[in-house]
Amino acid sequence: MMRIFARLVRDDRAGSAAEFALVLPLLIIFLFGIIDVGRFMWTCNRAEKATQMGVRFAVATDMIPNGLANYSFVVSGGLTQGDPIPQSSFGGASCKISGGAVSCTCNTGATCPSPLVSNSATALTAFNNVVARMRLFMPEITSSAVKVDYDYSGLGYAGDPNGSDVAPLVKVSILPNALAFRPITLAAFKGSINLPAFTSALTMEDGQGTVAN
C-alpha cells in the first residue's frame, strides 16, 4: 500500500493539466479585461460622436430658448441698432429636460433676456430633435442625460435683421454619471461603471430652423 502511495506521489503525468486549471481563470479574466477596455473606449467614442453630431444639429436649427431667439435687444434691451451684444446683456443659459418640459435657466451670476422660453412646445420639440440626432449614434442616450448650453461668445448685433440678435457658443453635453458601462468581467456581480461627461461646442450658425443638417 505504501509502495502504491509513493508511486502516486512521484507521478507527475497530470501536472501540466493541474497547472493549466490553476492558470485558466486568470487567463479568462485577462482576456475579458482586454475586451472590456476595447468596449469602454468604443462606448466613449460613441458618446463623444453623439455630442458632436448633436451640437452640429443644434447650431443649424431652432434655438431651444426661443424667447432668446426672438428677443430684440433694441426694443427690449435698450441697445442701439448695430451695437454688439455685451456680456452684461446676455451672459449665457442652460437648457435641460425637467418633468417632461424644457427648463432654460440663466447661468449663475449672468444676465439673460426674459423669458428664455416663450413657447414651451416649440422648445421641447427643438430639444428632442437634438437628442434624436444624438441617439442615431448612441441609442441609449435619454433626454434627461443631455444638457444644452448657450454661452456668451462675443458675437451678435442688436437688431440683426437676419435672425437672432445673439450668436452664442452652443455646447451639447452628456451629463456625468448619466450613462453606465457594464463590463463583462463584472457581469456576474451586475456591476457597472458610470461614464464621465462628454461635451462638444460650436458657434450658432442659424438658429431659426431654416437650415437643414
Does 206 reside within a domain?
A: no
How does pLDDT run across 61-103, given as a tens digit for each residue?
Answer: 999 999 999 999 999 988 999 999 999 999 999 999 988 899 9
Q: Cell 442625460 sits at which residue? A: 145
Question: pLDDT-based confidence at 6, cuts 50/70/90?
Answer: low
- The CA distance from 101 to 124, in Å, is 6
Residue 190 near residue 39 (C-beta atoms within 8 A): no
Q: Is 156 helix (H, G, I), strand (E, B) or coil?
A: strand
32, part of any domain: yes
- Number of structural domains found in the chain: 1
Residue 209 lies in a domain: no
Lowest mean pLDDT among 33-42, 61-70, 97-106, 200-209: 200-209
- Over 50: is that where the pLDDT of 213 sits? no
Measured distance CA(111)–CA(166) in Å, rounded: 13
**56 assigned to some structural domain:** yes
| Host domain of residue 17 | 1-201
What is the pLDDT, as a whole number, of residue 15? 63
Here the cell at position 56 is 452640429
Cell numbers for 16, please give them: 501540466
pTM of the full predicted structure? 0.84
Residue 213 lies inside a defined structural domain of this protein: no
pLDDT band at 2 (very low <50, low <70, confident <90, very high): low
List, for residues 168-196, the tens digit of each pLDDT value. Answer: 999 999 999 999 999 988 777 788 899 99
Instruction: Name the pairing type of β-strands 193-194 and 180-181.
Output: antiparallel
Q: Do residues 193 and 46 touch, judged by C-beta distance below 8 A?
A: no
**Contact partners, residue 213, CB within 8 Å, separation at least 6:** 56, 57, 60, 61
Average of pLDDT values for 17-38? 81
Q: What is the structure's pLDDT at 210?
A: 57
Does residue 11 surpass a pLDDT of 60?
Answer: no
Name the least confident of 38-52, 88-102, 131-145, 184-198.
184-198
191 in helix, strand or coil?
coil
Nearest to 117 by CA among 70, 163, 66, 69: 66
Residues across the chain: 213
Whether residue 164 is predicted with pLDDT greater than 70 in this model: the reply is yes
Between vectors from CA 123 to CA 180 and to CA 67, what angle results, nearest 5°? 130
pLDDT at 21: 74
CA-angle at 141, arms to 135 and 144, nearest 5°: 125
How confident is the model over 104-114, as pLDDT tens digits?
999 988 899 99
